[in-house]
Structure 1
Amino acid sequence: MNIYFIKRYPCVPIWKVCLVLFTLLIVTRSGYAQVTNYMIDISKGLQSQPVNLDKMGGINPNGEHITVNSEYITRGGIPIIPITGEMHYTRYPNQYWDESIKKLKAGGINMVATYVFWNIHEEKEGKFDWSGDKDLRKFIELCASNNIQVIVRIGPFDHGEIRNGGIPDWLLGKPLTIRTNDPLYLHYVELLYNEIGKQLKGLYYKDGGPIVAVQLENEYQHAASPWGLTYPGQPYDFTVADRDRSTTQEGVGIASKDNPYANLGNDHMRTLKALAVKAGIIAPLYTATGWGYAAIIPGETLPVTAAYAYPTWTAKRELSPFYLYKDLHSDPDYSPVRYKANDYPAFAAELGSGIMTTYTRRPLVPEKSLDALINRCIGGGANGIGYYMYHGGSTPVADRYFFNDEAYGYPKISYDFQAPVGEYGQIRPSFNRLKLIHFFINDFAPQLAPMVTTLPGNVAQLKPDNMDELRYAVRSSGNSGFLFLNNFQDNSKNHDLNAVRINVKVKGGVINIPETGGLNIKAEENAILPFNFDVHGTNLIYATAQLLAKGDDPANPYYVFFNPEGINPEFCFSKGNVNIKPITGSKTTTRDGKIFVNCITDKPAGFVLQGKDGIKINILVINKAMALRCYLQEWKGGRHLVFTDALVLTTDKSAEMLSTGHDQYNFSVYPKIHSLPQIDRGKLTETGTDKLFSNYAVELLPANLSPVFSKSGTRKLMVNLPETLPVGLNDIFLKIDYIGDTGMGFLDGNLVTDEFYKGIPWEIGLKRFIKKVKDNQFGFYFRPIMKGAPYLVDLPASVADMADKGKQTLQINGVTFTPEYKSVISFK
């Protein structure tokens, strides 16, 4: 650049050239001259004005109340934000339910939602089956033993991509009209509710049990499923009353207010609630899907919302509005709605944490889309988070048909949903990203839930295709709050937003975040930054790091922050009566009556904060890569953070560590512990010294697994199963790298697994199949991609090009076994 400049302008003095270059260098490095300022005004000091919903709530035997107001839910008088993960017990082997519930808990889930599918339990009229994988009571009891609360979704219509939406086939032949107050239909519903009531007896919140909510019906007067009894090429015949056919949709979406039978729909919901109560199904909360003008019971059911960014019921890929901030309390997604939104808290029950692929549509949901979606929902005022699905599964097979909704073109068995916890219990990257927000919500809900949303002035003009403007919002109470930032948009090429500063106008002045320079917000990233945050009596004016968790042990209180990718962590404290002592990786400066703490980003940093009360608070700052490896573990009445690549499942005095593909792994514990943990197998050693962490290494006996397989023709693959699951392994994952249309897996000639190719390898957990077949062999059949296939729009461009060049495409590239190791670490 210097040489070019001199040659182009030979008469310019060298000192001027140097001055220009030096100025460019300073501007580039500091970003000061390039900072883009954004302003948001909360100086009016908006406060929530909750109005109690007297017909909702309940009390348990310990005298603890659950109450609901128009803003949020409280338990024991403390505001909470439920985080609900959907898991269907009938879609997962019951011998692994406890392990799966522990996985949900490890991810920060504090409530489980599950459907009771009528047709699975009463496949034949009058013969209810609650055994084995259908044992609803056992599932709820396991949730209770893991301190997880439950929402039971009792139907009678469920949807859930199940045949007929859960309505039994035999009901089609009865002289009745479904999903109405038809007396004969209600007779059968009452029989169902009575059976469910027997299973749930004694498990309700009022009994000291985990059931805090019951969902009545699903998407009533909004959407439906087609009857499974249909013929190829025949138009769908939806599971709705004749009167509702014209207003029924195939999927979640926006509906019109023009439903002449709206009052009848609300009345039917009242009837269902009365039948549930009569059957003993009594909970503090009754919920109803409220999106798209669906029916609710005003004042008696909590309307819940949804957001699916990657739907398969649309004709093509579209940019969704679900990454733009809005006030969800007054303007729910998929509005118009049938209720006064401000009368109820914004409670999301179906946030698409993945999606089911259909034969014709197979979008791949990126992991960064999920925490971005939750950031936007919480920033928009949501005080309840619910995922559909959080844990995938495999749908059971009926005597005469498949329970998965074949009419809609879903796989016959697989219900993986690309969920954070997959069909075989495998942990996806989205699991780790979401838990960072979950930990934050669980620890700071009492402060966050009463906060109201403030939006910037440009929000009404901002459209999904505008990726150049900063997307941001604030939730605050008085002068204190959280700044929400989001730089993700689905089905779009995102880019970095560099050198941005957000100026938050509060009573008495403006908080500049950051005070000097700007933030660099990476493409597809999001952040939640606190301002005027009370840290044990000391005012944190702002932090360019995100709160992760805290420890309230009086002997060793701490706060843990992480810096979102690309953002340098800086803490700005009011000077006052505060003393800050750096420990490692941090330095302090004072200017303008404020104390600034800047931390390194390549490794953990720490400092001690001592306020006017004399209590010393430890502050740990880590980068996002390390935060993604974080789990919470409690023992000896205290809480510790465990950082590891393994999955950590908490038990009373120990932790089950599941390590996929690695017989050696490390873990670190914060705060430090002073006794060596014990391991049930392998070798555990302490590694090195550290000011912040206790560090350990684990070595396990390696499992040498080499799959034996053969091909039969061009479409069939035979894979030998291990005779037993080796000691020390929790599972073995079979991975088939292929390119094709569909894959089907058979054991002893029976279809047990299938999938629609989405551009990634097919992964199957084997532990549920080992020792359950005669010939110990898995047989797979694949079909090729045909030219012009409708789903090519969702596949990688290279695959679509390959398919367009030939009549058919099928490649089976490789087969691997990946062991999942299990060890138990005990803490004294």
Structure 2
Amino acid sequence: MKNKLLLLCLMAVSSIGLAQAIKQFEINADLPQQKIFANHLKLGGTNPNGERIAVNNYYISINDTPIIPVTGEFHYSRYPHQYWDESIKKMKAGGITVIPTYVFWNLHEEEEGKFVWSGDKDLRGFIELCKKSNIYSIVRVGPFCHGEIRNGGLPDWLLGKPLNIRTNDSLYLSYVKKLYDEIGKQLKGLYYKDGGPVIGIQLENEYQHSAAPWGLTYPGQPLDFTASERDRGVTHEGVAVSTANNPYAALGNDHMKVLKSLAEKAGMVTPLYTATGWGNAAIVPNESIPVTAAYAYPFWTPKRDYSPFFLYKNMHANPDYAPVRYTPENYPALPAELGSGISLTYLRRPVVVHQSFDAMINRCLGSGANGIGYYMYHSGSTPRGKHNFMNDEAYGVNKISYEYQGPIGEYGQVREGFHRLKLTHFFLRDFGDLLAPMTVALPANAASLKPENIHDLRYAIRFKGSSGFLFLNNFQDDTAMIDQEHIQVKIKTAAGDVLIPASGGFNLASGENAIFPFNFDCNGTKLIYATAQLLMKGEDEMPYFVFFTPNGVKGAFSFEPGTIVESIKGAKVNRTSVTCTADICEFAVIKDGKKTRVLVVDKERALKAYTIAVNGKKSLLFSNAIVLQNENNFELLSDSANNFHIDIYPKTTAVLKAPAGNLKVIKENPTFSSWHITLPAFEPKLSFREISSRKTAVALPQALPAGINDIYLQVNYKGDTGMDFVNGELVADNFYNGLPWQVGLRKFLSAPVTPKEMVFYFRPMQKDATYLQDLEPYPGYVPDFGKANEYLKVDSISLIPQYKITINF
């Protein structure tokens, strides 16, 4: 009897301990819906096919279907025009739907009256390629742009004219009119109303908020900013909160109206007009969408600090960098400048963690954003002018390089952030119409959470009626969040409570984020919840949905009673519940005679995913290679590896053909149609000679062999700066920040005369360098100076080939 009592006591204690281990969090979705109205906005338009873009106070729609646009900044003038098409296809493969691009006035009219629109400055050619790839564009026409370029894009000669810049000064406006007329000519016939891709025009940039320094300055002199005289007292060096009262705010709004009028007279008539609206900047009230920003790793602040941009809020009511000049509830929340990376300055060199990219997007969407955009998505190199370097030397940025540490690098390198972001982009493409009208709800403690709080769970929901999405984020810049373990979230809806999960809990690792559906319509079957994130949907022999599980999360699905669940692979079924038991999990659900297939993959595989069309049929392709589609042809790019897999879901009967390499069909895979491709190996020979302790000459290959798309010359060094010369001319430069320095060689090898070598010149790091604060959190980034006051060491120089093959079905 005693042993039985002891056993019962132990079981009771054990169950109490288990109950205590579950951490339950609550959030209320039984709230009034978001009010949506539109008659106040003078925005929208139609194209020749009768398609209509419209804007209300909460979201953008096409043909009355809500959309969440995904914009990615790419500056055509900072990249070789012969590779624009490839880069546009990369961006589309990454899920970008709109490409914004600056028109830098001083690059096109460096000398007064002499406009240049050819070569890498061919705006029209760039927009025509966007049209070819069926991707929209927003043209940022200035006249002031910033963009870390000389004078923020204003020509040098403008400083010497008897006028006041960025005002309604008649002489200044006459020059702006000439610029706008020239841009209008370049874009003629390419606007949305003409069947073209240009859906928007951005007017000015950060007007009455920020400016760039004039390039004509003296060493040691305080920076002289390109703001009107009247606005200098409220002008910031970068994006910031601005609480200053500008007595000339009304004049600023009026100037924006004048700019819009000049743009329209130049032919720039589009459904959308945007203006940067953060920090009390000016907009065109009710005629432009005030876009917002969020930079987690700014270079313009004096030191590193914790960013607030990983904490959920209601962005529609309280934009980032508030206060703002407009009424936020009257416009969609469109963060168009999310710092996916950052530029470097000589004094500040932030190291951007790519985990921050999708964490920030998760936070913005969970906070009510109905559009997301990246500055920059694609890095580049700024061309030299006739008289000056055209990057913002006065601000201390590189002379040539505009490497933003973003998803796509200065030479087209596809990076970790590209793959992380596309998972959310694919979700928005297929489910954005559901998310866009949804209302934001926050937990009770959301307003009191601080960025330095690494212990409390960060979560929010978007909902409509009783269905929606749970957003979770466990990332914070410049620190590490604790692992969240044994989480259970209770969502109160009008139709009853939803527990995610119904029993037990799930874990969210430090640095991870997730979006989980609840009361989701899965082709007529109600999915009560899933601890997996939607990736995409399609239809083959039957409709299907694809999910992925965040790292450390086991996929669990709960369907409404009456649902029949059939296990296919890697799934444990208990009535209407499914638990994934493998990295690839497949099952089918049947309700009222409608059958739907579900595929669940782990995040590692999801990061290799691309949405494609095979003979017109939507499919999902997994590969370590970068996959670019051109109708039924696919270009596969692979850095360093000459062999890789291709898996396609759903399985296809289409025959894959490859004109080069060895193609092997993998028949034993029950889930995917699979192939393995092996290309002839290429080992580029590296030859270099040390000229001195600071200077090294590297011999260049004289051509790219067949099957090689590019060769990256990678320099691993620890020092202060690196400069790269060809025939005595500076062609690239690098501010050391702990990351390898890569230079893409193909643009040099395609020159009329191929250079024989590159000469690299390095300068040593100083022990008291101000930027060391940015490098200290990362092991090995700061060298051991010992007793010396400076340090320079070139650890290695190597060549990395990028393989290329074209395949078709």
For the pair 1:596 / 2:568, whether they are aligned, the reply is no
Say whether the 8 Å CA contact 1:450–1:477 is kept in structure 2.
yes
What is the aligned length? Answer: 805
1:127 aligns with 2:105: no
Structure 1 712/177 Cα, relative in aligned 2: closer, same or farther at 3 Å? same
2:495 pairs with one of 508, 523, 546:
508
SS of aligned partner of 1:291: coil
Shift in Å, 1:33: 3.1
Output the amino acid matched with 1:807.
N
Whether 1:587 aligns to 2:572 is yes
Superposed, which structure 2 residues align to 1:251-290 within 5 Å?
251-290=238-277
Q: Report the CA distance shift for 1:752/1:618 in structure 2 as closer, same or farther (over 3 A).
A: same
Q: 1:655 and 2:634 equivalent?
A: yes
Q: What residue is the counterpart of 1:710 in the other structure? A: 689
Q: Who is 1:783 aligned against? A: 763
**Deviation at residue 616 of structure 1 after TM alignment:** 2.0
**Are the counterparts in 2 of residues 328 and 380 from structure 1 also a CA contact under 8 Å?**
yes
Q: Secondary structure at the match of 1:322?
A: coil
Name the structure 1 match of 2:800.
818
Q: Does 1:400 align with 2:379?
A: no
Change (3 A) 1:15 1:312: farther
One-letter amino acid of the counterpart of residue 178, structure 2: L
Deviates further, 49-58 or 749-758: 49-58
Of 334, 350, 354, which residue of structure 2 is paired with 1:363? 350
Deviations 1:307-357 (A, max 9, x none): 000001111110111000000000000000000000000011100000001
1:149-188 pair list within 5 angstroms: 149-188=136-175
CA deviation profile, 1:135-173 (whole Å, cap 9, x unmatched): 000000000110100000000000000000000000000
Offset from partner CA, 1:24-73 (integer Å, 9 cap, x none): 98888xx5431111110112352443334441000111111111000100
1:706 offset after TM fit, Å? 2.5
SS in 1 for 2:599: strand
**Structure 1 residues 19 and 819, CA, compared in 2 at 3 Å: closer, same or farther?**
farther
More deviation in 184-193 or 457-466?
457-466
SS in 2 for 1:678: coil
> In the alignment, is the contact (CA less than 8 A) between 1:788 and 1:804 conserved in 2?
no
Contact 2:700 2:755 in 1 (8 A): no
With over 3 angstroms needed to count, the CA separation of the structure-2 counterparts of 1:401 and 1:628, relative to structure 1, is same
State the partner residue of 2:399. Answer: 412
2:599 to 607, 613, 620: 620
- Corresponding residue to 1:556 among 521, 538, 542: 542
Residues of 1 paired with 2:543 and 2:654: CA distance? 20
CA distance in 1, matches of 2:759, 2:12: 68
Residue matched to 2:789: 807
Structure 1 residues 44, 702: CA separation in 2 closer, same or farther (over 3 Å shift)?
same
Conservation of the 8 A alpha-carbon contact between 1:32 and 1:518: no
Letter of the 1:46 partner, please give it.
Q
Aligned-partner Cα distance in 2 for 1:639–1:235 = 57
Tell whether 2:687 aligns with 1:700.
Answer: no
Instruction: State the percentage of identical aligned residues.
Output: 53
Secondary structure of 2:159's aligned partner? helix
- Cα offset, 1:690, TM superposition: 2.4
For residue 3 of structure 1, what is the aligned residue in structure 2? none
Question: Secondary structure of the residue that 1:184 maps to in structure 2?
Answer: helix
The SS at the match of 2:128 is helix
Partners of 2:711 and 2:129 in 1: how far apart? 25
Aligned to 1:136: 123
- Any gaps of 5 or more consecutive residues in structure 2? none
Contact 2:24 2:490 in 1 (8 A): yes
CA distance in 1, matches of 2:24, 2:460: 14
2:646 partner amino acid: F
Residue number in structure 2 paired with 1:468 = 455
Contact 1:723 1:771 in 2 (8 A): no
Is the 1:631–1:643 Cα contact (8 Å) retained in structure 2? Answer: yes
Structure 1 residues 489-511: Cα deviation after superposition (integer angstroms, max 9, x where no partner): 11112220101111000113210
1:738 alignment partner in structure 2: 717
In 1, are the aligned partners of 2:349 and 2:737 still within 8 Å (CA)?
A: yes
Asked if the contact 2:748/2:754 (under 8 Å) is kept, the reply is no
Match of 2:97 in 1: 110
Distance 1:774 1:427 in 2: 26
Are the aligned partners of 1:394 and 1:423 in contact in 2 as well (CA < 8 Å)?
A: yes
| TM-fit CA distance, 1:709 | 1.0
Opposite residue 769 of structure 1, the aligned amino acid is: F
Shift of 1:780: 0.3
The one of 793, 797, 802 aligned to 2:773: 793
Map 1:19-58 to 2 at 5 A: 32-44=19-31, 46-58=33-45
Shift of 1:18: 9.3
SS in 2 for 1:730: strand
Per-residue CA deviation, residues 560-607 of structure 1 (Å, 9 max, x unaligned), is: 00011111100000013x3211100012113xxxx1111124x21101
Three-state SS of the structure 1 residue aligned to 2:91 is helix
Distance 2:287 2:750 in 1: 50
> Deviation at 1:686?
0.8
Contact 2:480 2:511 in 1 (8 A): no
- Deviation of 1:801 after TM superposition, in Å, equals 5.3
Q: Which portions of structure 1, spanning 4 or more consecutive aligned residues, are displaced by more than 2 angstroms?
A: 13-28, 44-54, 771-775, 796-801
RMSD of aligned residue pairs (Cα, Å):
1.7
1:17 & 1:769 partners in 2: Cα distance? 80
Secondary structure, counterpart of 1:276 in structure 2: helix
AA of the residue aligned to 1:815: I
SS of the residue corresponding to residue 386 of structure 1 reads strand
Looking at structure 1, the residues matched to 677 and 280 of structure 2 have their Cα atoms a distance apart, in angstroms, of: 54
Partner of residue 725 from structure 1, selected from 690, 696, 704: 704
- 2:60 counterpart of 1:60: no
Is residue 2:620 matched to residue 1:641? yes
**Residues in 2 aligned to 1:242 and 1:109: alpha-carbon distance in whole angstroms:** 39
Alpha-carbon distance, 1:797 to partner = 5.2
Q: Secondary structure at the match of 2:747?
A: coil
CA contact (8 A) 1:393 1:415 kept: yes
- The one-letter code matched in structure 2 to 1:826 is N
Q: Which amino acid aligns with 2:401?
A: S
When residues 18 and 756 of structure 1 are mapped into structure 2, their CA distance, relative to the original with a 3 A threshold, is: farther
Equivalent pair of 1:793/1:800 in contact (CA under 8 Å): no
**Amino acid of the structure 2 residue aligned with 1:611:** K
TM-score, with normalisation over the residues of structure 1? 0.95
Q: Helix, strand or coil: the match of 1:607?
A: strand
Instruction: Tell me, in whole angstroms, the C-alpha distance in 2 between the residues paired with 1:287 and 1:182.
Output: 23
Query: What does residue 312 of structure 2 align with?
Result: 325
SS in 2 for 1:103: helix
Which moved further from structure 2: 504-513 or 413-422?
504-513
Give the letter for the 1:181 counterpart.
N
Residue equivalent to 1:228: 215
Q: d(CA) in 1 for partners of 2:16 and 2:603?
A: 27
1:768 corresponds to: 747
Partner of 1:216: 203
Structure 1: which amino acid aligns with 2:561?
A: K
Q: 1:263 to 1:23 in 2, by over 3 A?
A: same
Q: What is the identity, as a one-letter code, of the residue corresponding to 2:574? A: T
- Displacement of 1:416 in angstroms is 1.2
Cα distance per residue 1:291-314 (max 9 Å; x no partner) = 000001110011000000000111
Could you tell me whether the CA contact under 8 Å between 2:142 and 2:202 is conserved in 1?
yes
What is the CA–CA distance in structure 2 between the aligned matches of 1:497 and 1:418, rounded to whole Å? Answer: 29
Cα 1:771–1:216 shift into 2, 3 Å: closer
Does the 8 Å contact 2:74/2:99 carry over to 1?
A: yes
Q: Which residue matches 1:756?
A: 735
Name the residue aligned to 1:77: 64
Q: 1:217 to 1:716 in 2, by over 3 A?
A: same
**CA–CA separation in structure 2 for the residues paired with 1:530 and 1:242:** 52
Tell me, what secondary structure is at the counterpart of 1:778? strand
2:660 maps to amino acid: R
Task: Give the residue type in structure 1 aligned to 2:768.
Answer: G
Contact 1:351 1:385 in 2 (8 A): yes
